[in-house]
């Protein structure tokens, strides 16, 4: 095989991989890490390596199909333009994703209801250090903080002015607000009725 064909084929496979990576990595990482909690325990470089290996394997295998190879060899200038465009699209994604990564995120609650004096554990990330504690609220009702770490908060419910169902959220010291989860503040009398 002549060196020009080897270079052209390598360029096409690598270009397709990079284009797919830049256009798909941020939305895919958001869905798998934040929405479905599948990859939340992997470091960013591990996720990047996984995605690159998958894309490279798919496009390498795909390239051996005759129709794909001929189309790739014919349209390499379009691939080059798509590569440049994908770099700009990726930069827009990265800015949004970085802002999203700084926001607090609640993964789970020990209970979705509480009564006076009950402890609730909140697991998540980006809550902030203990010296920069924020607030935990159910709608406008603030819960009392017992323990605060970057990934776990323990709160105690004080006596509420009323019993209601609302949305629990974490507010960082800088005003950033987490996702909201449904939460009910119950009367102790309701427990005896159930």
pLDDT of res. 83: 64
pLDDT tens digits, 106-129: 989 999 999 999 999 999 988 988
pLDDT tens digits, 9-28: 777 777 777 777 766 766 77
Domain co-membership, 115 together with 171: yes
Domain co-membership, 26 together with 85: yes
Task: Decide which of 75, 102, 129 is a domain's last residue.
Answer: 102
Domain at 160, CATH number: 2.60.40.10
Domain co-membership, 31 together with 82: yes
**pLDDT band (50, 70, 90) for residue 193:** low
Residue 58 has pLDDT above 80, yes or no: no
pLDDT of res. 149: 93
Domain co-membership, 68 together with 111: no
pLDDT tens digits, 33-49: 666 666 666 666 676 77
Domain co-membership, 83 together with 67: yes
Domain co-membership, 35 together with 95: yes
Domain co-membership, 26 together with 75: yes
Domain co-membership, 92 together with 112: no
pLDDT of res. 192: 64
Domain co-membership, 43 together with 123: no
pLDDT tens digits, 124-178: 988 988 888 999 999 999 999 999 999 999 999 999 989 999 999 999 998 899 9
Domain co-membership, 63 together with 132: no
Task: Decide which of 102, 133, 149 is a domain's last residue.
Answer: 102
pLDDT tens digits, 76-89: 566 666 666 666 76
Domain hosting residue 82, numbered range: 3-102
Domain co-membership, 95 together with 7: yes
Domain co-membership, 114 together with 72: no
> What is the domain count for the chain?
2
Residue 131 half-sphere exposure toward CB, CA atoms < 13 A: 0
pLDDT of res. 36: 63
Sheet holding 152-156, edge to edge: 105-109, 119-125, 152-156, 141-148, 135-138, 164-171, 181-185, 113-114
Which pTM value belongs to this model?
0.60
**CA pair distance 29, 25, nearest whole angstrom:** 6
Task: Decide which of 67, 102, 137 is a domain's last residue.
Answer: 102
pLDDT of res. 82: 66
Residue 29 half-sphere exposure toward CB, CA atoms < 13 A: 26
């Amino acid at each position: 095989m002549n060196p020009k064909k080897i270079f052209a084929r390598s360029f096409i496979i690598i270009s397709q991989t990079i284009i797919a990576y830049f256009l798909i990595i941020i939305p895919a990482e958001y869905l798998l890490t934040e929405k479905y909690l599948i990859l939340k325990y992997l470091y960013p470089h591990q996720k990047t390596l996984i995605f690159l290996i998958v894309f490279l394997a798919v496009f390498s295998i795909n390239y051996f199909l005759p129709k794909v190879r001929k189309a790739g060899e014919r349209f390499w200038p379009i691939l080059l333009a798509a590569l440049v465009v994908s770099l700009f699209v990726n930069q827009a994604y990265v800015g949004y994703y970085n802002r999203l990564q700084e926001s607090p995120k609640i993964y789970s609650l020990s209970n979705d209801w509480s009564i006076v004096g009950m402890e609730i554990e909140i697991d998540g990330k980006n809550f902030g250090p203990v010296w920069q504690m924020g607030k935990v609220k159910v709608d406008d009702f603030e819960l009392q903080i017992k323990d605060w770490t970057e990934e776990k908060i323990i709160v105690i419910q004080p006596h509420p002015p009323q019993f209601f169902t609302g949305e629990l959220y974490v507010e960082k010291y800088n005003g950033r607000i987490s996702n909201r989860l449904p939460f009910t503040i119950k009367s102790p009398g309701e427990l005896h009725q159930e």
